[in-house]
Each structure stands twice: as structure tokens, then as C-alpha cells.
Structure 1
Amino acid sequence: MNILWYYLIFFIVVWIMAILFRDKLKADIYGPILMRRTKKLRGFIDAVANTSPRFWRWSMNIGIPISVFCMGLSVYLIIISLQYMFQSPQAALLLPGVDIPGSPIYIPVFSGIIALILLMVVHEFGHGILARAQGVGIKSIGVILLAVLPGAFVELDEEDVKKAKRSVKLRIYAAGSMFNLGLAAIAWVVVIVISSSFVPYAFQSDGLEIASVTPGSPSEGILQNGMIIYNINGHQVSNRTSVNQFLNTTHPGDVMTLVTDQGTYTVTSSGNPNNASATYIGIRGDTHLVVKPDVARTYGETIPWFLYNLVDLCYWIYALNIMVGLFNLLPMKPLDGGIIFEELLGYKVPENITAKIVSCVSWILIGIVAILIIYGTVPGIMQMF
């Protein structure tokens, strides 16, 4: 069953439960928006903010110019993405476990869900901590569902926000993405340290393990997740690079004989959904690792695999926090970048002109994002059904 159906069923169940038990669950429904507020975590945010209010304020004094730089970078990247989209459509959807044909990104279910939860929690706590460090009240913390798009929020006291100086607002709005980028940096350090030291010491390669078989691809119904491929047409493979190097020497329509740990299988290749001239069989995988015998005798297998899975988790924490953190800094409302852009313009530009500029830029960027999603992702999703 296509994993998109599982997501759809899950969100339908959530909506049904929210509607039937609205009062008991304390859920608020506004058209396609479902919200669940709580005040329980305000004490924790206060405690963190009060550890050193001066540190949080000064850290965001550095965070504001970094946010402005990242705002410009995110605009540049999205324009470049639009240019490459028309040259070679690339489908990408940040849903763990969803493998879209032709997509350059596949996020594992377990690591992806944990990374997305951490992303949302850290982002909103960042806003909350900076708000409390500067005396701005928090009404509630909660989760939100826009139809099927999940998110989190910190509801600030509107009166306190109105009274706050522009610099205070900028620190608060910059904090979410800065916390995301900070978490990404920490995760990346963990990845570098463990993957460059312990992993080569503890593991040795043993073929290519299939992580995902893309729906609608030539391999669907033939190969399965978890299979270990030892060679393709007699060419030994051990990682994604070795597979790609071999496929670059072949042509669409060539027959591929794959020797696996579960037998030998034949797949007739096709053209890549994004490049018809490139050979495509529709599998994603990475090196199948086994613990070296001497390491297993010394440490057992639990510790090495725990550290390996920690690296995988930290990689996706890094990647998703970078991607979403930068996207959130696009100068379009209602994203944080749009609010920061508006506040910065307000220093020198009259309010009525500022509103028009922000609105114009926002709609242009919304249009670009819509094109990227529709032109890049929708065709890939359609191939899955």
C-alpha cells in the first residue's frame, strides 16, 4: 500500500477525532485549521529564558544579521531552483517514507519523523525563549494542522508585542530559524565526528542494501526493501556511487540482472523521470554494513549499531533544519522572513509603502513556490498511483 494512503488515513482519523471529541480534547477548529493549545510548557520556557536573559538577547543581536544574510541566500536558492526546475524537473516532498519517482530526496520514516518533531519544537521554543527573555508574554503553546500540513506555534501576547521595540521584535522573529540552524550545526558536528572516526573503524561494507523501491518504477514488484544487492550485470556494487557509475555506462531499456541475498532478479530499465536519456531502475539504497568481527568481540553489536543509527538521525536533523530554517527566512509573509523584512523596511520606509512592498514580494515568492511544488512534485506524485 502506498505510504501516502497511510498519511491520508492518519490525518482523516485525526480530524474525525477532533470533531467528535472537540471539547474533551480542547481542540479549536477554524475551517481547514485545527489547533490544540496548552499552557503547560510556559514554565519550562520561562526557566530557560531566565537562566541568562542577557545571553539570549546578545545571541540574537548576532542572529539578526545572520538572518538577513540567510534571507538573501534563500531568495537566491529559490530562484536558482526555479531555473533548474524548467531544465530538469526535480520532485521533492519532505514527508518521511514517501519516495516520489525522480525525487533527489528520500527521507527515512523513523529518522525523518523524529527530525521533523525536533525541528518544530526547537523553532517554536526559540521564539518563546527570546520573547520571555525580553518581557513579552506567552499566551499558549500548541500544535496546528492546516488540512494535512502539521505545525507548531507559540502564541505571544499581542499587547506586549505592540509595545515592544522594533529590535525586540526582530530578535524574537529571528530566533526560530536561528535555533534551527544552531541545532543543525550541533547535529552536523556529531555526524562528522562519529562517521569519520568510529564508523570506518567498526564497520565493513557488504553490498548495497535497498532502502526504498520507488512506486511505478521498473523495480516495483520485483525488488523489495531490505534486499542486499551484491552485483548488477556482474559489476560489483557497494554504495550509491558505484551503482550510478555503472548505470552511466548503460542505456534505458537495457536488462539488468541483479544478484541479491534473496536470489537473482531481472529488471528492464527505463528512462529517468527527470532525464529520459539516463538509465533508471527505481531503487534507493546505501552501503550494507556489517560489524567487523574484532569489533563485535570487543563491543558487541548493539553499541556500533546504536552509534550508526545516531549518525543517520543526526544527518536528517541537520538536513531538515537547514532546509526548513532557510525556507522560513524567505521574505514572504506569513513566514518569519516576511515579518523580519517588514520590520527592517519599517525603520526607514513609511508604513503604507512598506506594506505594499512586502505584499508584492510575498506574492511573487508565493507564486515561485507554487510553481516549484506543482511543476516539480505533482507529476511525481501522480506516477505513484
Structure 2
Amino acid sequence: MAWVVIFISAKALKLERFGFEIKAYSLVYKNKGVNELLIKILGRTRSAVSVFANVSVIAGFIMMGFAFWFLLNNVSNFFVAQSEFNELTVLIPGVTLTSAPAITYFLLSIPIVLVMHEGGHGIVAALEKIRIKTGGFAIFIAMFAGFVEPDEEEFEKAKKISKLRVIGAGATSNVLFALVLGVILLTNPFFAMVVPEPLLSIFYELPEGVLILSIIENSGAEQAGLLGNDIITSINGIPILIPADFPSLNPGETATVSVLREGQPLNFELLVMPAPDDPERGLIGIMRDNSFTYKPVMNFIEWNDPTVSMFLLWLWMISFFIGIINMLPLPILDGGKFIHIIIDKRISEKAVKMTMWGIYAFTFVLFGLNIALSYMKSGWFTI
């Protein structure tokens, strides 16, 4: 529906006059003045860009290795340690992104991430004296893309190391931006949701558990002797630090609940009750404090607006993962070009093609397997 509105509006406004290409399935904008802008920026930042360009080659290998390790390890976890399996989905507005806030955060983040990514390619291309013919963005119904279009002849004539610097710069700029943003977000309680151990314990004061505000009458919690102001620390042996840690329970089963009462640890056995709105969902019978209780050690920034916090969290997530995933060796991604440049002219052209298609097939199957296993575990899920 959004695409229909965009398409009709673009036609009505006659955006072709301003450099837009409008088709039934896409809207593409190209600007021929990008090269001049990049040269001006390079004139003031040449030393820093030179260091960045060299780092991009090393970072390209690291990011590609990390992407493969993550996907392979994730598949392994599905079969040997399913609790550690990370569910993956492709973010597509209206398909896997369905909530209004999620779509809003995504749409606001994508232009920033694309500018960082394509700017990285472009500024290093200018450093390597490879002319950028055009730069711009494209919308393919529900998918977004940014691009800088180098002069193909100049790119082909460039040294292999120059090509690797240009290709690696896009993903490197995204990950470096995410790292800088991540350091800032370490002052934000919301960021604790994605910070792994041991960093979580270093940068945040961990909560003791989840506070009980009140007890539901005639519930298993009341009958077992739980009280308001008790702090739940575990349920059925599962550590509880925040409300999201509460496990799924079945009505009628007996649950073991551990609490802190005035600093003293206590254990209770209670009967799980059915939820009033969903008889198949189990409740222990409490009203809990659902506030986010992680406290940053570095608390020199006041985060008073949760909307800003969530937007920056999305921006961090999208920038980091677009950078990492972009270095996977697939035909449409930077990783595919990166590998092709490395092996090109070292072996015969036929062998290069066979090798690349073998790598593409393996990567596609691995990536697809992660998506498929996610759906096998949780079904079709949306954000």
C-alpha cells in the first residue's frame, strides 16, 4: 500500500525532472554531483581516509569471518544447545516488520545507514582516484538500497588493493559507526537488552530480580506465601533479572519460585493458574514491576525519552548487522565482490566462475538454513 502511494505521488509530482527513474516496481534517484562533493571532503580528511581505507581491507576479512562463524555456530546451537539459538528474520516493512514503531524506527535508520555505507565506498574511491559517475538511492517496493556508481573502466584498471579498499569501506564504515554509537549507548539502560556477558556485568549494575508489587487473590502465589515487595530471583531454576526472563508456564503445573525477602533467600512451591484472557497460558499469580532495572555504570547521559533510546538502539542494530551481513560472499553483496577481486586472475576465468558459484551456493544455503530453522523453532514471527 505504501509503495502504491509512493509510485502515484512520484508520477504526479513528475520527479523524472529531478533525476528520478520511476518504474512499476522501483524508484531510483541518481546524482552526478557526488564525485565533486567527495573530492572536496577528501581534501580536508585525506590522512584519516587513508588510514580508514587500509583498515577496511583487514576489517573486511574479519567481518566476513565473523558472519560465517555466527551463522555456522547458530546452526550448531539449534541442534546441540537450542536455548542459545538466535532467531533470524529478514526485515521487510509490512511483511516481517508489522508494528508501527518498528517500521518507523527502521525507516528512519535506513537512510542514515545507507549514507554511511555508500559514503564509505565513495570517499575511498576518491582517495584511490576512481571517479564516481553517480550516487543515489533506490526503493524496490519494500526494500531499500543506496549506491555509488564508480567509473567501470577506472575501477578495472585500479590496483587490486585499491579495489579491496573501496569494497571493504562500506561495511567498515557501518560497523565503526555502530561501535561508536554502542559506546555512547552503554550509558543507556535499554542497551543492556543486547549487551552480552562479560560486558553486561562490567558496564551495568545487574538487578537482583523482579519486584512483586502485589499478589492476586486465590492464586498459587498467595497460597504458597509470596508477598508484595518480594524479589523473584528464579523460576524453575531459570535466573530472573528482568521481566523478559520469565519462562512460559502451563496451567496446573507446579513451579519452584525463589525470592529475596528483606535480603533473605526463600524458596516456594506453587500451583500455576490459567490466565483469565488465555486459559492455556500459565501465571504464578503476581503483579510485577515491569520497569527496566539495569543501571549503567557510566550514567553521565540522561536518557529521559524512551522513543529516542529505542530509535538509537535500532540504528545501532541495523548499522552493525548491515555491515556484517554485507561482507557475506553473495552476488548482490560487497562480500561477493571482495572474494572475486582476491581470486581474479590468480586462476583461469572458468575456475573463478566455478569457485564463486560454489561459494555463493554454500553461503546462500547457510543463510537460508538460519532463517528456516528460526521458523521451525518459532513459526512465522514478526517484529
Scaled to the shorter chain, the TM-score interval is 0.5 to 0.7
In structure 2, the residue matched to 1:38 is 31
The one-letter code matched in structure 1 to 2:279 is T
Following the alignment from structure 1 to structure 2, what is the Cα–Cα distance between the partners of residues 141 and 378?
A: 40
Q: CA deviation at 1:305?
A: 1.2
**Residue 334 to residue 93, structure 1, CA distance change in 2 (3 Å):** closer
The one-letter code matched in structure 1 to 2:291 is T
Q: CA deviation at 1:368?
A: 3.2
- Tell me whether 1:141 sits opposite 2:135 in the alignment: yes
In structure 2, the residue matched to 1:287 is 291
Following the alignment from structure 2 to structure 1, what is the Cα–Cα distance between the partners of residues 317 and 86?
A: 21
**Residue 309 to residue 147, structure 1, CA distance change in 2 (3 Å):** closer
In structure 1, the residue matched to 2:40 is 47
**Residue 323 to residue 304, structure 1, CA distance change in 2 (3 Å):** closer
In structure 1, the residue matched to 2:117 is 123
Following the alignment from structure 2 to structure 1, what is the Cα–Cα distance between the partners of residues 185 and 381?
A: 34
* Partner SS state of residue 287, structure 1: coil
In structure 1, the residue matched to 2:317 is 319
Following the alignment from structure 1 to structure 2, what is the Cα–Cα distance between the partners of residues 106 and 93?
A: 17
In structure 2, the residue matched to 1:94 is 91
* Partner SS state of residue 135, structure 2: strand
- Conserved 8 A contact 1:33-1:146: yes
In structure 1, the residue matched to 2:279 is 268
In structure 1, the residue matched to 2:327 is 329
**Residue 108 to residue 231, structure 1, CA distance change in 2 (3 Å):** farther
Following the alignment from structure 1 to structure 2, what is the Cα–Cα distance between the partners of residues 377 and 120?
A: 28
The one-letter code matched in structure 2 to 1:268 is P
The one-letter code matched in structure 1 to 2:351 is I
Following the alignment from structure 1 to structure 2, what is the Cα–Cα distance between the partners of residues 341 and 252?
A: 54
Query: Does 65-74 or 12-21 show the bigger shift?
Result: 12-21
Q: CA deviation at 1:34?
A: 3.3
- Conserved 8 A contact 1:100-1:380: no
- Conserved 8 A contact 1:99-1:106: no
Alignment of 1:152-301 (within 5 A): 152-195=146-189, 241-248=241-248, 250-251=249-250, 255=273, 266-270=277-281, 287=291
Query: Does 175-184 or 75-84 show the bigger shift?
Result: 75-84
The one-letter code matched in structure 2 to 1:165 is K
Following the alignment from structure 2 to structure 1, what is the Cα–Cα distance between the partners of residues 251 and 134?
A: 56
CA deviations over 1:11-64 (Å, ceiling 9, x no partner): 222233445646345432567443121235444322222223243123221221
What's the TM-score, normalizing by structure 2? 0.67
In structure 1, the residue matched to 2:286 is none
| 36, 60, 70: which one aligns with 1:67 | 60
Gaps (5+ residues) in structure 2?
A: 191-202, 234-239, 253-271, 284-288, 294-300
Following the alignment from structure 2 to structure 1, what is the Cα–Cα distance between the partners of residues 309 and 370?
A: 31
Q: CA deviation at 1:245?
A: 4.5
- Conserved 8 A contact 1:34-1:146: yes
Alignment of 1:2-21 (within 5 A): 9-18=1-10, 21=14
What's the TM-score, normalizing by structure 1? 0.66
**Residue 238 to residue 116, structure 1, CA distance change in 2 (3 Å):** farther
* Aligned Cα root-mean-square deviation (Å): 4.4
The one-letter code matched in structure 2 to 1:305 is N
The one-letter code matched in structure 2 to 1:247 is P
CA deviations over 1:331-353 (Å, ceiling 9, x no partner): 22221111111111126333332
Query: Which of 1 and 2 has greater Rg?
Result: 2
**Residue 363 to residue 230, structure 1, CA distance change in 2 (3 Å):** farther
Following the alignment from structure 1 to structure 2, what is the Cα–Cα distance between the partners of residues 139 and 70?
A: 28
* Partner SS state of residue 168, structure 1: helix
Q: CA deviation at 1:186?
A: 0.6
Q: CA deviation at 1:150?
A: 1.0
* Partner SS state of residue 141, structure 1: strand
The one-letter code matched in structure 2 to 1:74 is A
CA deviations over 1:78-127 (Å, ceiling 9, x no partner): 233344557679352435797779xxx99844443333222111001110
Following the alignment from structure 1 to structure 2, what is the Cα–Cα distance between the partners of residues 16 and 375?
A: 39
The number of equivalent residue pairs is: 317
Q: CA deviation at 1:322?
A: 1.7
In structure 2, the residue matched to 1:6 is none
Following the alignment from structure 1 to structure 2, what is the Cα–Cα distance between the partners of residues 120 and 135?
A: 22
In structure 1, the residue matched to 2:364 is 366
Query: How high is the sequence identity, in percent, across the aligned residues?
Result: 20
The one-letter code matched in structure 1 to 2:124 is L
